Amino acid sequence: MTMKPIIFGCAGTKLTPEEYAFFKAARPCGFILFRRNCESVAQTQALVESLREIIDDPLAPIFIDQEGGRVLRMRPPVWWKAPASGLIGKLADTDMDAAIQLANDTGAAIGAQLGECGVNVDFAPCLDVVFPYTHDAIGDRAFHSDPAVVATLGRAFTDGMALYGVQGCIKHLPGHGRANLDSHLDLPVINASLDELDVDLAPFIALNDLPWGIVSHLLFPALDPKQPATTSKRIIDEIIRGRIGYEGLLVTDDISMKALKAPVEVSSVHALEAGCDIVCHCNADMAEMKPIADAIGAMDEALAARFEEIRRPCVSEPFAEIADLAESIDARVAAIA
């Protein structure tokens, strides 16, 4: 049975009988973890293994948002706390070479943590460009106001994760930095011309070879006055696939976010029709997951081939092996003025 182009979350630290039966029947292509799912290394390893077993796919992508700073699903005291991207970007103002090394080492340390638990895709880094009015929903999750710095540090970060077989992602396509609202709660409207948006697109163009990309729930009236990026065929075809040149797999931002007003199953279908490859649903609400699974069919042959091509195993080694690197990162971060 072919998998469906859906990523689902689960409610706790282990699967409930209802979740087990549902996922077995629904056949999502991957799963996403949150803080509610990660209690210890051994428990997370067991959960990840059970998720892969349930869909009979040892290479199934297990996703997480482990950016650093305030966006950490695996948190202290069990896991090491990575610095925020904005702090790394601050170092770039005085020592670009040191910032590149810090970004690379941070990516490696995060990759080691994730790989130890079997998580093979990190929805990071945030490649949004910072503006004076950037909403706190992004804030220090983004590296810098200079798109060239964003691109350079983003590349260093993803190269570090790749040392442990963890794939990175470009987000939030086609750029969340100008938004003055939180798309978790409302639909931001970005009133910028296409020429102005060249600044926002630059980091995504520089990293357009990454295998995963997240499309954001943002309205760009200059590009499409009616549909947010997630459900806009014009934005996906002309901007993300065209101007950015992105050929990887496009995943929706969480389809249950309040920026989208339609029922989740309707938004899911519209996103796929617009050109997103995979729908991501995060909150583990069975009342939402069931209609999504009912509304979406199996991957077609072309998508299944692309999905098969990019899947990779992560390197599962004890994080203790790089404890010295984590200590070095902490010391360098503490020294940033």
Q: What is the 3-state secondary structure (H, E, C) of 54-104?
A: HCCCCCCCEEECEEECCEECCCCCCCCCCCCHHHHHHHHCCCHHHHHHHHH
> Which tokens is 293 given?
């699974």
Q: Which residue has the tokens 């130890």?
A: 116
Q: In sequence order, what are the residues at sequence separation of 6 or more whose Cβ sits closer than 8 angstroms to the Cβ of residue 316?
A: 115, 116, 117, 118
In a domain, 151, yes or no: yes
- The mean pLDDT of 184-212, rounded to a whole number, is 95
| Stated length of the chain | 337
* Within-domain flag for 182: yes
Predicted confidence (pLDDT) per residue in 99-110, tens digit: 999 999 999 999
Is residue 278 within 8 Å of residue 250, measured between CB atoms? yes
Asked whether residue 31 is assigned to any structural domain, the reply reads no
Q: What is the pTM of this model?
A: 0.96
Residue 254: pLDDT over 60: yes
Specify if 278 maps to a domain.
yes
Distance CA(60)–CA(8), nearest Å, equals 12
Return the sign of the alpha-carbon dihedral for residues 294, 296, 301, 306: negative
pLDDT in tens, 161-179: 999 999 999 999 999 999 9
| pLDDT exceeds 60 at position 1 | no
Share of the chain above pLDDT 70, in %: 99
CA 138 from chain centre, in angstroms, equals 13
How much is the mean pLDDT over the chain? 96
Residue in 122, 128, 253, 254 annotated catalytic: 253
pLDDT digit string, tens, across residues 12-63: 999 999 999 999 999 999 999 999 999 999 999 999 999 999 999 999 999 9
Q: What is the CATH number of the domain that holds 266?
A: 3.20.20.300
Output the CA angle 325-327-329, nearest 5 degrees.
70
172 is catalytic: no
**Residue 223 covered by a domain:** yes
Evaluate whether residue 7 is within a structural domain.
no
* 255 assigned to some structural domain: yes
Looking at per-residue confidence, does 320 or 294 come out higher?
294
Query: Could you give the number of structural domains in the chain?
Result: 1
* 50 in any annotated domain: no
Q: List the catalytic residue out of 56, 95, 184, 300.
A: 184
Position 80 confidence tier, pLDDT thresholds 50, 70, 90: very high
- Rounded to an integer, what distance in angstroms lies between the CA atom of residue 26 and that of residue 293? 6
Which structural domain range is residue 148 located in?
A: 81-110+123-334
